[in-house]
Structure 1
Amino acid sequence: MERASLFSNQKRKTGGILIPVAIFALGMIVVRALATPTTGLLSSLAARTSVRMPVTSAVGASIVSSGKPSSKAAQYSSFAPLAGARSSASLGRSMRGLSSCKANGLPIDLKGKKAFVAGVADDQGFAWAISKCLIEAGADVSLGIWVPALGIFKKSLQMGKFDESRKLSDGSLMEFEKLYALDAVYDTPEDVPEEVMNNKRYAGNSDWTVSEVAKLVEKDIGKVDILVHSLANGPEVKKPLLETSRQGYLAAQSASAYSLVSMMQNFGPIMNEGGSVISLTYDASNKVVPGYGGGMSSAKASLESDTRVLAYEAGRKYKVRVNTISAGPLGSRAARAIGFIEKVINYSYQNAPISKELTAMEVGQTAAFLLSPLSSAITGQVIYVDNGLSTMGLGLDSPTLVDAEAPEPVAQ
């Protein structure tokens, strides 16, 4: 496909996914505002450069299933809950996300890049969406799948259960380079307890500790450019912190935070310079989210802190970048283990600045950007992809605010 370059009057072929260029468009508005008939260079630039911005509908207009907001509410919103609830089918739409990882904007070209994504278990969730966007951009993607889930994943893949989700923008089905069994709770074979080693769910698999998988990856595909950590588990996540055992707390830390450290220790040496690493976190790391217990909020806080330290250490030692994405709620299979994910999604829909459901592909596109050379100066950061919910300090759906209205904007 040919697209006009944003930086020249030449046309070039691009095979990668694209990200929005609102900032560039804003710059062009300024250029046109400054240009006059006598400013040859500026007027020439404005005339020669065109930016096609995506067409979007009014925020939340297609999500509300019943009732229509008043004109005043449509303009300024209200402190009262949004009219109507999310439709029952909307969760499925948010899981599928966008049909393609492509959008208008700057090209992301990852041709020739090798990626290892840890944490895919099915065709739902963020890890799958990230993998799809990386493949759409041209990367070769291998997966690390939890040992007990690997057999089910392979069978579902072979039976075509994922075919609809595998469709790329050109109509082809995405393919994975390699599938590896992985349990990132264990660094070496010596760390594995006998009861786990003899567990029938692990039968028929070998070389699945972090160090072993890293060696297999290096042997099979050589050095990697991209590393994705989408791993979390809290066996006591439904328990309040005051009722969480030491064992449960430390298990959450091990699976959800230290696993990133372990992966960096073992995959860092086999990453190419200029490579990029991302993980996935949640805003409970620095805010109280009742029900997100068992030490998981602490584990996410650790993950974010470790991201900053690893960005420094791995940046100096391996010349790679490390960031984490703080994603809003998504009704994935893993998230349903919390037990109240639908309520959290509803809360986000009613209180976030952008009143719509988050899609997995929106996180996937952000990840593709962070894992590409376009973000070469970004490292050690927590990037929020949550429709702006993390910026809010007061829930608009509070019963005390049901009859209150937001103040009207001051006229300029």
Structure 2
Amino acid sequence: MGIFSGKKGLVLGVANDYSIAWAISQKLIEEGAEVGFTHLPGEKMERRVRKLTDPIGAKVLVPCDVQKDEDVASAFDKTAEAFGSLDFVLHSIAFAPIADIKCPFVESSRDGFKTAMDISVYSLVAVSRNAARFMPEGGSILTLTYLGGERVVSGYNMMGVCKAALDASVKYLAYDLGPKKIRVNAVSAGPVKTLAASAVGDADALAGLYEAVSPMQRNIDRAEVGSAGMFLLSDLASGITGEILHVDCGYNVMGSPGRAIEASKAGKL
């Protein structure tokens, strides 16, 4: 029996099999969890996610536009109809208009800022509020963030500001939901090739930088993020809330290029 045997939850934000949310979902399923999924409204998006969920026999696949409160509430209502109560929720949703991601933050548009904050940040608030309705015995909520919300990452631009707001939201939600025995945490992963990451400039170069600078001298892979996410959603992390867990081979602790300096001097970079 796995550590999630008998536990049920909802995953929001799987786009394809490259998604970090899918890597975490796979680990949850391996440990015995029963997992439901959402998809963006529309047949095309449903087909994309169904390719992953049908083979595992997922009982729940519901549309959800997180910019609509009624959609979020409906997604949880339908999930509860199938599962009853919920033990965990994974939130893996972020978006900004491509023009506002590509331009320097100072040039970003007001409308783009509103849209990015609504989808990337407020959606976690709406999701957490609705998840709490179906967690009578407590539970765990997890979202995905990135170091670009803590420090400037060239090319991350507006999304970095959104992640900073998301990080703060995790802490305040952890405080608000703590009395209900609901934990709220985030995983901050190193660069992983995903649909979302493809919109950020210099993604390949960034992965190489992690290999050169991180204490472990390598970048992470999806399976490592999957395991970390599964851990935070599990009872093994019962005393952890309001935390941002970095899964980046230690890159976030570095205050200098470290060993990359010597590699550069030796002509290895």
TM-score of the pair, normalised by structure 2: 0.91
SS state of the match for residue 264, structure 1?
helix
Change (3 A) 1:216 1:393: same
- Where does residue 165 of structure 1 map in the other structure? none
SS state of the match for residue 56, structure 2?
coil
Q: CA deviation at 1:221?
A: 1.9
- Where does residue 177 of structure 2 map in the other structure? 314
Q: CA deviation at 1:150?
A: 2.7
- Where does residue 24 of structure 2 map in the other structure? 130
Consecutive unaligned residues of structure 2, counting only runs of 5 or more, are none
SS state of the match for residue 384, structure 1?
strand
Q: Distance in 2 between matches of 1:396 and 1:347?
A: 11
Q: CA deviation at 1:401?
A: 7.7
Please give the per-residue CA displacement for 1:266-305, whole angstroms capped at 9, x wherever unaligned.
Answer: 1211124231110000001110111101x21111111111
Aligned-residue Cα RMSD (Å) equals 2.1
Alignment of 1:164-183 (within 5 A): 174-183=56-65
- Where does residue 117 of structure 1 map in the other structure? 11
Q: Which has the larger radius of gyration?
A: 1
SS state of the match for residue 273, structure 1?
coil
Alignment of 1:270-281 (within 5 A): 270-281=134-145
Q: CA deviation at 1:215?
A: 1.6
Percent of aligned pairs with the same amino acid: 36
Aligned residues: 264
Change (3 A) 1:356 1:174: farther
- Where does residue 92 of structure 2 map in the other structure? 230
Native 8 Å contact 2:15 2:49 kept in 1: no
Change (3 A) 1:252 1:228: same
Alignment of 1:236-385 (within 5 A): 236-293=100-157, 295-316=158-179, 318-385=180-247
Q: CA deviation at 1:175?
A: 3.3
Q: Distance in 1 between matches of 2:120 and 2:49?
A: 24
Match of 1:151 among 30, 46, 50: 46
Q: Which amino acid aligns with 2:171?
A: R
SS state of the match for residue 223, structure 1?
coil
Native 8 Å contact 2:16 2:52 kept in 1: no
Change (3 A) 1:257 1:154: closer
Q: CA deviation at 1:151?
A: 3.0
Native 8 Å contact 1:323 1:380 kept in 2: yes
Q: CA deviation at 1:220?
A: 2.4
Q: CA deviation at 1:154?
A: 5.0
Alignment of 1:75-86 (within 5 A): none
Native 8 Å contact 1:150 1:181 kept in 2: no
Native 8 Å contact 1:311 1:322 kept in 2: yes
Change (3 A) 1:249 1:400: farther
- Where does residue 36 of structure 2 map in the other structure? 142
Q: Distance in 2 between matches of 1:174 and 1:216?
A: 19
